[in-house]
Structure 1
């Protein structure tokens, strides 16, 4: 018997963290994202800079 692995659909996500208050937000991956890339201003504290902390994929079920 031959077993084949099912094709998995994986959606990429980006995790951003504020360098001031350490608030974390998850969003869909955008072309050009890389770890430690500065992003938008923090929406939580208002004076911090959001930095990309992690890029990962989640399996769609």
Structure 2
């Protein structure tokens, strides 16, 4: 699964730490999601999408290999 999380953060001008605080996870969790080393749960993906005011599908995208 790939994501546009880093881009969305840049548009909204928030840091990994800011986003982590908003959704109650560690900054390291945000870093691992952005680095495609961790696939977030449905609940976490929904929380992230809510912060950016976008549907989950605009932030996270399945790849052919998923």
TM-score calculated relative to the size of structure 2: 0.22
Higher helix share: 2
TM-score calculated relative to the size of structure 1: 0.23
Q: Find the structure with the greater CA-based Rg.
A: 1
